[in-house]
Structure 1
């Protein structure tokens, strides 16, 4: 028996149990190299296989969170102790309850916090060319699964780690592209042939409040419906020159709707991160004003969480599998509060960045392990704060409110008249009477809203539902009226949606409905502006043209709470008797989907340039579809699936009609991929517009009119024209040589040039083609010598016309309001005023005689000196009377210029029709008059 027992023990030692860390290969054993080795990258196929091997450990659980845009499986690896793995459902429930903070006392919350485990999200690879983030995720997973030191075991006991791959498609592309070169020293990421997210590349980190892309939807569900982590760590690169990385705390401004505990929570974790690096003699961490990053924007992966009371961490680190140099930047070498431990110039290897990243991850995880109960309680406390603020009168301290206090004081001082000892200015730290505070910050009309009502009775209810679904995807509690109701004397129909602010994620609700108030931010008084990190204003409810009422007092009604995370798809209807045909409103974006499906099936469709007689609710541009069995089948389905209210007509309209026909659409793109073009490509797919992507070589080849009817140029396609007539404005970089890239991508090379491309575009227009330009590509108007000029100029002392300097005029990404000519085909279905996304966008001045002769037709303009709706606009008075969009006939064709970003990131749905209306031909029907063009 003794020998048998000894043999059994020996066999046990030689044959580790399944799931034991010793049975899992190291990265070196799996990939053939250590993570961080110079000139070595994995692809996603290899990484997925490794994650599946790690998933055999009893410390892990591998979760498929959904498919990517290209159809790959996106994985999240849950790492915690074996004991915690058995109780994941309970710990998830605790995290959910504390994050939502509903119906919990402080004592109950503390009990749950004591029982629960901190949940920490760490991702990698969102921006796939930022290879440190991708590879550190692999190394961190291996370390957590294999290590047995006391710190790792403490982390596993007290923390649930969600290691999530943020962009599998991009990882596959970048890994394969880098490793394609057999000679390691020749490997490079340069000249990647396409975007590393199928449609939007780098903008995948700008999609997190709309969640248009599949990957962001997958991530959003885990964050805001499933797990509600208390901490999210989003890895990026690259750090500011002369440093190794930028990390928290970040520079001002932070968004004013955030709970202050978010800001101090980031301070605490940022201190833990930099302290660990300092203790490990790893210099080069910069923070505060040493970084260009702030906590203002709501669309990024690390920032969306802040609006949900989750501490979002960002680091931007240097590093590349190809060794690089840390440059000499003298001002970075003096220790200060931004960079207390500077790094010196040196050669830098990939492994150093991986080691830094793992140390930073461990700093966050160790903090969470030691403070797990406090972190759980803090997310509850912030949620409770939001519920309380949304349940009572509250005034947010926006810059415009503080400015109003100062202005009230100044106005009152001026009234005191000559001889007084007061001044109209307010010096720094000047104490004012509290009455001036009360005049603004206790004004009843300036209170924060208690909620919002989105009625069903709006021109484009289906788009309003898309807005509602964006909220629902992000964990917002939405309610719906089960019957008609009245609030504040106004009647609302059943089915209307209600969003109250007395809930934990109130900051996100305010940010989606309310305008952003970006502070005036200059390098010094009278100096140039400090550019915001990304956008200054983005209010989705404005850009989507959602109609809602903002309620300042508590209200109630026959409301039912919708299940958290359950998307809405209210059925539309075909109303009336369609014996003669059907009427679709041009005001509804989804009508264009229905029309494109009809055209694809061979069903006739017409437009009504002047609406319909006797039907005041039918605006110009409405679609008429004659009755037929095929039309009935398609429109019954469209009404149901697309939330469209379609009107059945017993009598064919007698008003003028134009027949709609599909056109051959071309969309410009470039080698490496244009994000704005990718967004439009995605948009056209969503709205069922067939199109062909073309490249500069296709344009230079000529014969465009034989191939296409419409060519769309997004921003940054057409170069500027300098006074000498030369094309300028493209970034100074070397384009790849044809022999440097695979043959399949060589037709994409080249750029739009004044010498070859512009003459072909002019010929296309003169032959009857349509060109639509957006943003900076409206430069084509100057190449074509149209009678327009830049409206944002002034005369200098030498009598020369020069563009306004930023000290006088500066509008980064913000929401502005324009006035439209609603009689034009280009604006059919749009209101007389609409909000547009403006990002240093072109504005035009048209020659009066050109307007009179019809050689230029204004479509949209600024009719006020204060068009700002959300964001930051310095010197906005210069915009008054400037034209933001126009149409100009060129030969037999039409040229459209839209200065604002009318398709911006798939978010500016209120201006999609500026594009859609140009994507059909409209021919006069027999016996009717021709529509206005």
Structure 2
């Protein structure tokens, strides 16, 4: 009897425990409000606690810590599925990886795996923290999935493995605390958050997904491209176009030509499921295609990078926030059409409506995945297999320049046969029977051996800045690319390569991403109408990362092999540096290596003397101008031993001192401009300064206006949008993202950050700073400072009107959105030390200058970089690029005893353009002359 009672008690206790464990706390029970209530936002601290409660209470959830954020918070992913599926997660992950990589599988094996597997669906929220719908729909969706027991939810849990991922924990904490600081709900506002909501980069956290600089993007990328490789990923954003509730798939053209067509049509299918779900629930206002600006051309966004990995990447941009708002009257949005089949009428809009729409959209995606799970799994395999096949044989990719070449071949053929046409129907694209162009013109271009896509790429280990090349390799590895490494010396196509070189073959599933990182983008000439203004790309038009990072590589057009070892997926590489030679006198560090600047900064911080060689050593610069020399000492050897190992730089030990002029290096007191709300270009440089160990101080307009700058700083750096144009108002952080803050509404601690650089107060202080020996570095539109100072330079991109007035070139004649261009350099100058005579730059409607010859002859301005060609485009879109011929891209000018550096291109763009980092780094040291014994002869803070 006692045994029976104990057994009964144990059974009852187990039952009660199980019942308690399945009692799922609602958001209102945890947060104190319903998700979507007006004027209410949750902090990340509260959200993190809720995630943990949910995971502890539900057998449908596994909580995974995917890494720390830039501010040290834990970033979580909740895996939601049926209890049975959660017990087999390793198997479902394995199936997803095998099918996505498509290696050594037959179609039959792929079908079998697809039948066995579950659809892997990624849903994230909160990447842009001021877009508060994203984070809060994630919270509500998690609750719905773990608490509901309806047939649809149970089917979803049975057939899907859902990865619900918080994209920006730091930002949620910053933005919510800012919004909720007001005790009176109606006074709460998301406007004018004082600093960027993700450390350093703010909104640009969604531009980091092929470079992967930030910890958050690294955490996310590992799950997306190495671990889980989902078939569908859904990225929530806001806000939708005015007069609509949201914009979603499918998206407007152009899409990138490297995509598998099944990825594009897969987006179409999911988009149809999403809009149909909303329509069936009487939720109007979904616009798509040409109804919004969103396209699939750009790589680098959380959603768009997945497109290059055969994933069906979805983006929605929805209206809404905790403060009620209105859908405005936009008459042209009210007529149903293919873009917007079910328009929304003007009305007041509440946060809860956006949350409800978002949950419905999530369920539409999850239900589609559940019903089509086997097809989704097979299709990602098929896309990967297609990529492997394209990369393992001769393949010619179509693009606008190839079509132009076909047209040109036909046009220039004196023996061409003109096909019959029907003028009345030609305007509708009708071609009569027997019409069209003879196929030989297609064959001339699309079967030309030299125009084939490469079978692979070789990155030699003996290139000048191999450490930066390895950073490029690691960017590929982080995005799931298969990389191989040579275990011995080898030859391909008659060229010899050393052991340790990296090989990336094109016969792999993620070939679209691989091609996109090595090959130029060919953006079409896209205009609103023939002869009309250009259609602005959603983001960059060209970004070829190997060009931006100045990686030396060879394209191999034929199949090749060698002593290559395949690296495990996701295994990062570290370059091997060495000290060679006998260091009786000292050590040489190459100025060509970016990592040399880290080593030099560490030496300077430890009190070790460092010099530069203005003229290099030997004929034809056997050692390049600007190389670093470090006199021998025990401390120098210890630090350089560590730097060589950790940084992958090669250090040459010298038995005798260089027989050439030496200039002593000293660190400068560096100031970096920033503004209230945060400048993303400034944030990227701040991040770079930390990575390369440059000590610096962030300054604001009030610091500039306070004067006495020369007593505080040696060099001040201004990024794009810091210096306004002469006689005009430049766009700034407030014109881009909201109204300018008012002092009375700003907490006292942030008031010193307020204000702008002005011609009346700031420019005179900068002029005094320069005249008394300071250095100012300007980038992008901040080169406006040259005009404020009255330097003898002009805008090169103008034309004279019939009335004799000079004006900027119109977009119909000249338009270059973000693209990669090539410039010439004078690499003997201090500013360009360590660089080649030609380099690729990131150009984004950047300023270009015209300098009078007499100004150059008198030494008033010295060009540093210029366009020596009318066709400098390397990747992207450059309409009217011939106007750039002979234009100056960068210059230096003396101002009193100081110097102004003006760099038109974005030389530090999103910390991706490693090839031009030295154009900034070289200006951050003061140099003086020294005699052969190393004793200072002239001390100076100039260059």
Q: Normalising by the residue count of structure 2, what TM-score does the alignment of the two structures yield?
A: 0.96
Corresponding residue number in structure 2 for 1:45: 45
Q: Could you tell which deviates more after superposition, 748-757 or 729-738? A: 729-738
SS at match of 1:308: coil
Q: Cα RMSD between the aligned structures?
A: 2.0
SS at 2:413 equivalent:
helix
Shift in alpha-carbon separation, 1:683–1:728, aligned structure 2, 3 A:
closer
Contact 2:588 2:651 in 1 (8 A): yes
Other-structure match for 1:178: 179
Alpha-carbon shift at residue 738 of structure 1 (Å): 2.0
Once the two structures are TM-superposed, the CA of residue 570 in structure 1 deviates from its matched residue by 2.3
* 1:855 pairs with 2:860: yes
Matching of residues 551-570 of structure 1 within 5 Å: 551-570=556-575
Mean Cα deviation higher: 727-736 or 208-217: 727-736
Aligned residues: 925
Distance in 2 separating the partners of 1:497 and 1:4 = 70
Matches within 5 A, 1:711-750: 711-722=716-727, 728-730=730-732, 732=735, 734-750=739-755
* 1:666 corresponds to which of 667, 671, 683: 671
The answer to whether residue 55 in structure 2 is matched with residue 55 in structure 1 is yes
2:536 and 2:817 in contact (8 A); partners too: yes
Conserved? CA contact 1:125–1:165, under 8 Å: yes
Q: Does 1:453 find its partner at 2:454?
A: no
Q: 1:627 to 1:249 in 2, by over 3 A?
A: same
What is the alpha-carbon distance in structure 1 between the residues aligned to residue 19 and residue 125 of structure 2? 28
Query: Does 2:534 correspond to 1:526?
Result: no
Cα distance, 1:617 vs structure 2: 3.4
Residue 233 (structure 1) aligned with residue 243 (structure 2): no
Q: 2:490 aligns with which of 485, 489, 495?
A: 485
Are the counterparts in 2 of residues 239 and 316 from structure 1 also a CA contact under 8 Å? yes
Q: Which residue of 1 aligns with 2:913?
A: 908
Match of 2:760 among 737, 740, 755: 755
- The residue correspondences of 1:349-388 to structure 2 (distance < 5 A) are 349-388=350-389
- Partner deviation per Cα, 1:411-430 (whole Å, 9 max, x = no partner): 115x679x99999xx98566
Q: CA deviation at 1:93?
A: 0.6
Partner of 1:31: 31
Distance in 2 (CA, whole Å) between partners of 1:52 and 1:613 is 65
SS of the equivalent of 1:751 reads coil
Aligned residue for 2:410? 409
Residues 720 and 729, structure 1, Cα contact 8 Å, conserved in 2: no
The aligned residue for residue 703 of structure 1 is 708
Q: Is the 8 A contact 1:721 1:728 kept in 2?
A: no
Q: Distance in 1 between matches of 2:389 and 2:522?
A: 23
Kept after mapping to 2: 8 A contact 1:21/1:145: no
Structure 1 residues 886 and 19: CA distance shift in structure 2, 3 A: farther
Q: Flag the 1:709–1:560 CA change in 2: closer, same or farther, 3 A.
A: same
Deviation at 1:737, TM superposition (A): 2.1
Superimposed CA distance per residue, residues 266-293 of structure 1 (whole angstroms, 9 cap, x where no aligned partner): 0000000000000000000000000100
Aligned pairs for 1:785-824 within 5 A = 785-824=790-829
Cα distance per residue 1:234-291 (max 9 Å; x no partner): 0000000000000000000000000000000000000000000000000000000001
Q: Structure 1 739/651 Cα, relative in aligned 2: closer, same or farther at 3 Å?
A: same
| Deviation, structure 1 residue 6 | 13
Change (3 A) 1:473 1:729: closer
Deviations 1:754-791 (A, max 9, x none): 11100000000001000000000000001000000100
Cα distance change on mapping 1:786 and 1:156 into 2, 3 Å:
same
Query: 2: distance between equivalents of 1:60 and 1:84?
Result: 10
Counterparts of 1:230-629 in structure 2, within 5 Å, are 230-413=231-414, 428=429, 431-613=436-618, 616-629=621-634
The answer to whether the 8 A contact 2:582-2:655 is kept is yes
CA distance in 2, matches of 1:458, 1:713: 32
- Post-superposition CA distance 1:704-746 (Å, at most 9, x none): 0000000000000000113xxx665546564222221211111
Structure 1 position 314, deviation (Å): 0.2
- 1:21 and 1:773 mapped to 2: Cα distance? 60
1:880 is aligned to 885
1:823 Cα deviation (Å)? 1.4
Aligned residues of 1:274 and 1:285 also touching (Cα < 8 A): yes
**Alpha-carbon distance in structure 1 between the residues aligned to 2:474 and 2:731:** 40
Deviation, structure 1 residue 329? 0.3
Cα distance, 1:20 vs. partner?
Answer: 4.0
Q: Does 1:896 align with 2:901?
A: yes
> For 2:740 and 2:238, how far apart are their aligned partners in 1?
23
The alignment status of 1:653 with 2:658, answered yes or no, reads: yes
1:359 CA displacement = 0.2
Q: Is the 8 A contact 1:727 1:753 kept in 2?
A: no
Q: Distance in 1 between matches of 2:19 and 2:314?
A: 35
User: Contact 2:455–2:506 (CA<8 Å) still a contact in 1?
Assistant: yes
Work out the CA distance in 2 between the residues paired with 1:595 and 1:543. Answer: 24
Name 1:919's counterpart in structure 2.
924
Measured against aligned partners, the alpha-carbon deviations of 1:789-836 in whole angstroms (never above 9, x if no partner) come to: 100000001101000000000000000000001111000000000000
Q: 2:413, 2:797 → 1: CA distance?
A: 35
2:204 corresponds to which residue?
Answer: 203
The answer to whether the Cα contact below 8 Å between 2:419 and 2:437 also exists between their aligned partners in 1 is no
Q: Which ranges in structure 2 are unaligned for 5 or more consecutive residues?
A: none
CA distance in 1 between partners of 2:207 and 2:300 (Å): 5
- After TM superposition, the score normalised by the length of structure 1 is 0.97
What SS does structure 2 have at the residue aligned with 1:721? coil
SS at 1:436 equivalent = helix
* Contact 2:721-2:730 at 8 Å conserved across structures: no
For 1:828, the equivalent position in structure 2 comes to 833
Q: 1:9 to 1:491 in 2, by over 3 A?
A: closer
Question: Matched residues in 2 for 1:823 and 1:324: separation?
Answer: 58
- Report the CA distance shift for 1:19/1:495 in structure 2 as closer, same or farther (over 3 A): farther
CA distance in 2 between counterparts of 1:708 and 1:775 reads: 22
Q: How far, CA to CA, are the matches of 2:136 and 2:729 in structure 1?
A: 41
Q: State the alpha-carbon separation in 1 of the partners of residues 597 and 19 from structure 2.
A: 56
* Distance of 2:923 and 2:621 partners within structure 1: 25
- 1:639 alignment counterpart: 644
CA distance in 2, matches of 1:28, 1:4: 40
The CA deviation string for residues 472-511 of structure 1, in whole angstroms up to 9 with x for no partner, is: 0111110011111111011111111000000000000000
1:13 deviates by 10
Distance, in Å, in 2 between the alignment partners of 1:585 and 1:926 is 21
Residue 661 of structure 1: how far off its partner (Å): 0.3
Which whole-Å CA distance do the structure 2 matches of 1:591 and 1:374 have between them? Answer: 51
Residue range with higher mean Cα deviation, 530-539 or 567-576: 567-576
**C-alpha spacing 1:19/1:667, structure 2 compared with 1 (3 Å):** farther
Q: Once the two structures are superposed, what CA deviation does each residue of 1:448-480 show, in whole Å capped at 9, x if it has no partner?
A: 000000001111110000000000011111001
